[in-house]
Amino acid sequence: MQTDRGAFHPTRFGDLAVTVDFHCQSACRFCIVREGMNHYRGVPLERFREIAIDNERSGRYERVIFTGGEVTLEARLFDFLAEARGRFAHVELQTNGRRLADRDFARRLREAGADELFVSLHGPSAKAQDFISQREGSFDEAVRGLENARALGYDVTSNTVMSADNVHCLSEMPELLSRLGVRRMELWGYLPMERTEQAVRLIAPLGELVPSLLRGLERAEALSLPATVKYVPRCLLERFGGALDNSQADVVIVESFWDTFPAFNCLYEARCEHSERCLGLSHAYVDKYGWGQDRLRPAARTTPWREPARGAAAPGASARRASAQGPWAALVGAVPEGTPGTLERGWLTRNQARFRYVFDGGASVELVLEARDEARPALLRTRSFNVFYTDLDARGRDAEIKALLEAAARSVERRDDGSFELDARKGLAREHVRRRLPTAR
């Protein structure tokens, strides 16, 4: 999605990431938690219980992902797992895998309901991994942890953050991961959350990263190990372009987190066929290495580029371009006879249902439904919604647009039986999960 700060990753609304805490026994040189998130507290257990109970009723999320920091260090992890049990189809732990070297601990987690692991491994050898994690023995522990995970029947995905410290050995990762029973691997371009010298140093130039990444993808393909890439321009992935998936789980974190989350842009957004899926380059990369205008190879568009609506919304509140199906689409009804406008598309986000109407000559308007809130202005309030319009481009067709909007709003009023749910919360967590910023920041 596009925001005022540039593009953000799209959100997977079926997955919910819950930040448990931010402690870790490793100290990975690139760690975004260490850099920019260590002033956040984890989500309190009581808050998670509310979320889990809500999910049991609504089935909104298929998967809950416990993340941190290192979740296996969290004293109340088993309490979180108990709350999640039976309320989500899958329970995933994002971990460095080190504590899973303890077979009994790994078994107890499995028995407590965790069935998926997302294990960080950033080097194919003890030398590479321990250098990055800054903890001797971390590689050996993670390998033992992965061996235990396989024996206990976990579904394991690996995650490798591609930085200047491992760009030379990416192609060696698939062999190791395949041998350890990892089902799929993810390779994420490094995104600094801060602009310290150390953080900026870790950004690898595309000229070095891409050839190494492509060799790694070829090796993974040969081993039948599915691979996903994030935060690398799609045009540089050659025949592996389909591996790009920048989506992230919905996340329970304070809204202000997104003020510091990296943003992206590409000079060729309007020209490239892939710009709806590809984020381009992070601003930190552009600051260090430039826009890459001679390196990027935009694919010619086959469909017109539509300028994304800019807004200040966080990714969690972003427009997911899913179509508004079934009862949602029926809410607005048919365009009234004699009205020249047409419903171009409708889509559903966590916070809004939006319906875009277009008219001959380029006029357009969007009708928006948000969770009913007496305190906020609205064109009309129905049982479930505040109804209003936005992005009006009238081009002199004010009367026709007004008639169409009124008809659509009345249709929503008639068909809304009070059972439609939109999330009224801007962020799923409130400010109490945020620690006070250190004074030096």
Partner 1 sequence: MIETTPSDRYFDYCLQPYEPAAPAQGKWRSESLLWHALEVAGLRGGRVETSLRRVQAHAGRDLTVWGVKHDRGRLFLELYFYDPRKEDPRVAASSVIAALEGTLRFAPSVRESIPYFMWSFDLDAETERSGRVDALHLYLAAREIQAGRSYTLRGGGAIELVNHYRFLHPQREIDELLHGIESSVFVDFERVPLSRVLLPQLFACNRICVAKKRAADGIYYSGLSIDQLRFFLERFGWPGAIRSLVERERARLDHLRYDVGIDYRMLEDGSLESTKTSFYGTL
Considering the complex, state which of residue 111 and residue 259 has its C-beta at the smaller distance from partner 1: 259
Which residues, including other chains, have CB under 8 Å from residue 87's CB and lie 6 or more apart?
52, 53, 55, 56, 64
Dihedral pair phi/psi, residue 133, rounded to 5°: -80, -15
Residue 303, phi then psi, degrees to nearest 5: -130, 150
Residue 317 Cβ vs partner 1, minimum distance, rounded to whole Å: 13
Interface stretch with partner 1, choices 133-141, 203-211, 268-276, 350-358 (CB under 8 A): 268-276
> Exactly one of 45, 82, 267, 378 binds partner 1 (CB under 8 A); which one?
267
Tell me: does residue 374 bind partner 1 (CB under 8 A): no
Integer angstrom CA distances of residue 11 from 249, 250, 251, 260, 292: 6, 6, 9, 17, 26
Give the residue, chosen from 49, 60, 184, 283, that forms a contact with partner 1 under the rule CB under 8 A. Answer: 283
DSSP-derived letter for residue 137 is T
Q: Which of 14, 311, 336, 340 binds partner 1 (CB under 8 A)?
A: 311
**Is 377 a residue that touches partner 1 (CB under 8 A)?**
yes
What's the rounded Cα separation, in Å, for the pair 281 and 287? 10
- Interacting residue with partner 1 among 286, 329, 335, 358 (CB under 8 A): 286
Q: Give the strand pairing for 364-371 and 352-358.
A: antiparallel
The dihedral formed by the CA atoms of 432, 434, 439 and 441, expressed in degrees to the nearest 10: -150
Which member of 58, 224, 293, 303 binds partner 1 (CB under 8 A)?
293
Question: What phi, psi does 235 have (nearest 5°)?
Answer: -65, -15
- The interface region with partner 1, picked from 109-117, 133-141, 278-286, 433-441 by CB under 8 A, is 278-286
- In terms of Cα–Cα distance, which of 279, 289, 299 is closest to 232? 279
Among 85, 195, 305, 383, binds partner 1 (CB under 8 A): 305
307 touches partner 1 (CB under 8 A) = yes
d(C-alpha 139, C-alpha 176), whole Å: 12
| Gap between the Cα atoms of 355 and 388, Å rounded | 11
Minimum CB separation of residue 286 from partner 1 in Å reads: 4
The interface region with partner 1, picked from 4-12, 60-68, 347-355, 430-438 by CB under 8 A, is 4-12
Of 86 and 305, CB closest to partner 1: 305
Please tell me whether residue 223 adopts helix, strand or coil conformation. coil
Residues making contact with partner 1 (CB under 8 A): 2-7, 259, 263, 265, 267-271, 281, 283, 286-287, 290-291, 293, 305, 307, 310-312, 376-377, 390-392
